[in-house]
Amino acid sequence: MHNFKKLKIWNERMELVSESYKITRSFPKFETYGLMSQMNRCAVSIPSNISEGTSKSTNKHFRSYLEHSLGSAFEWETQLNVAFNESYISEEKFNELEDKIKQIQKMISSFKSGLNGS
């Protein structure tokens, strides 16, 4: 078992959650239960799956939760693209967040690969 609060992959995901909430506040009101909600739930899912995975008794089970976290990261990236395509965020913010989510995806993949099969 791991202490999720000490994991860099968890802490950086929590920063993404804050960033997601920050940018979605400026989305149009009609997106409250659409893209805004979906992006924020997805962002929360990334560190949530990491923390839940740390409670599992084997690395095999932990890897499964990391896989879910990675899936949420890719889903959030897609939603970021939708937000940009709909002109909800600037190109500068899009590029910044796209770089951040790609880094997150690499970190999760790398961490997952580093866990042995026990």
Domain count, the chain: 1
Residues of the chain above pLDDT 90, percent: 73
Q: Which domain holds residue 24?
A: 4-114
Q: Measured in whole angstroms, how far is the alpha carbon of residue 2 from the centre of its chain?
A: 19
So what's the pLDDT on residue 5? 82
Q: Quote the distance between the C-alpha of residue 118 and its chain's center.
A: 26
CB 42 within 8 A of CB 75: yes
- Kindly report the backbone phi and psi dihedral angles of residue 86, in degrees, each rounded to the nearest multiple of 5, phi listed first: -90, 5
Question: pLDDT at position 22, please?
Answer: 96
Task: Specify the pLDDT at position 57.
Answer: 83
**Cβ contacts of 78 within 8 Å, gap of 6 or more:** none
Q: In the prediction, which pLDDT does 10 show?
A: 83
Q: Assign 87 to helix, strand or coil.
A: coil
Token readout for 28 is: 């149009």
CATH number of the structural domain spanning residue 105: 1.20.1440.60
Rounded-to-integer distance, Cα 113 and Cα 117, Å: 10
Q: Helix 59-85 vs helix 35-54: angle between axes, to the nearest 10 degrees? A: 160
Which pair of structure tokens corresponds to residue 114?
Answer: 């580093």
Which residues in the chain land under pLDDT 70? 1-2, 117-118
Would you state the pLDDT for residue 11?
80
